Amino acid sequence: MNFKVKNDTFLRALLRQPTDYTPLWMMRQAGRFLPEYRATRRKAGSFMGLCKNTDLATEVTLQPVERFPLDAAILFSDILTVPDAMGLGLYFADGEGPKFERPLQTEADIKALHVPDVGKDLKYVTDAVAQIRKTLDGRIPLIGFSGSPWTLSCYMVEGGSSDDYAKVKTLLYKEPKLMHHVLDVTAQAVTAYLNAQIEAGAQAVMIFDSWGGALSHAAFHEFSLAYTQRIIAGLIKEKEGVRIPSIVFTKGGGLWIESIADSGCDAVGLDWTMDIGVARQKVGHKVALQGNLDPAVLFATPEVIRNEVEKVLSSYGYGSGHVFNLGHGISQHTDPENVAALVQAVHELSKKYH
């Protein structure tokens, strides 16, 4: 398949087609570990100011791919843009992470929840996608993304980050119908949002289920995976004759890898807790795998990084279907020199497996 991009290694690996080496990108690659990101962020004044400024969002998306020979770029934005567009009022309090001015607290709040007008309320995101695609000029593919309905609901109900998810889990167990209503509306919003990103030029999409691992086995399937599955079923699968692969990342989801692989996605993202070779045996030829180096490895030396990269590569073994990544986002305290060592190690050491 012609993917209309010079370096199509990432897209080929997602579809388990042969490649010369294992492609890689890093979750949160555009972020605070880069001094150039911190400078642009200061210029923008606020995080949402950065997301909403097309030129600056394009600039920070390109920063990691200018510095390192990464095999994909990811749209610079945030998963919480969707609840913001649903009227919850996102803001970032200094040092406290994301917060909502109007979290879902009452039954009335939940019943009033609506699918946003993606073309209007999230136009700043699709504008960024279009400009990033133009600026990349076919060098490497661009990934679009969204949060999963469950992960977004965690923030919408808790009003921000949480240690124990007490509020959202209370809703789930005490008022399952209301919980399903939140998830249903959010799933519709996410489907429209990802399709708008695809229409604007995203060449692959990723769903972040960062807090799926906080759920019990039964609750994960009923309240998280079922909605992810519904979104995937509603996604645009092909644009202008080119396949648009989808990736599902569930942090703490190793136990459920088989059912995640059955969701209809093309690839499953793994955190660092699972052996990627064991994961490969479990999913067989159904999906590609993305992951799964512990981001803390990047606090060590280039020699240690090389060793740990080899462990992940050899565990996956021979053949295509592996996109190298970290098991979660890169830490802001990472030395960029160590990222250079990581990229070089993956590109060099993976050739023998292809």
Q: Which residue, 208 or 256, has its beta carbon nearer to ligand CP3?
A: 208
Tell me how crowded residue 241 is: count the other CB atoms within 10 A of its CB.
Answer: 8
Binding site for ligand CP3 (CB under 6 A): 27-32, 41, 47, 74, 76, 78-80, 97-98, 145, 161, 208, 210, 251, 329
Shortest spacing between CB 285 and ligand CP3, in angstroms: 28
Shortest spacing between CB 231 and ligand CP3, in angstroms: 15
Catalytic residue among 32, 67, 102, 306: 32
Helix H or strand E segment including 144:
strand 142-147
Beta bridge partners of 239: 242
121: annotated active-site residue: no
Residue 2, classified by CB atoms within 10 Å of its CB into exposed (0-12), middle (13-18) or buried (19+), is exposed
Q: Which residue, 101 or 348, has its beta carbon nearer to ligand CP3?
A: 101
16: annotated active-site residue: no
Q: What share of the chain is helix, strand, coil (3-state, %, to 5)?
A: 50, 15, 35
Q: Which residue, 98 or 321, has its beta carbon nearer to ligand CP3?
A: 98
Asked if 118 and 192 touch (Cβ cutoff 8 Å), the reply is yes
38: annotated active-site residue: no
Beta bridge partners of 207: 146, 248
Catalytic residue among 12, 16, 37, 41: 41
Catalytic residue among 71, 78, 84, 266: 78
Q: Which two tokens stand for residue 297?
A: 């490895």
Tell me the C-alpha distance between 342 and 304, whole Å: 10
Shortest spacing between CB 270 and ligand CP3, in angstroms: 13
- The residue sitting closest to ligand CP3, measured at its beta carbon, is 210
127: annotated active-site residue: no
28: annotated active-site residue: yes
Shortest spacing between CB 37 and ligand CP3, in angstroms: 7
- What are the φ/ψ torsions at residue 215 (nearest 5 degrees)? -95, 160
* Residue numbers annotated as active site: 28, 32, 41, 78, 155
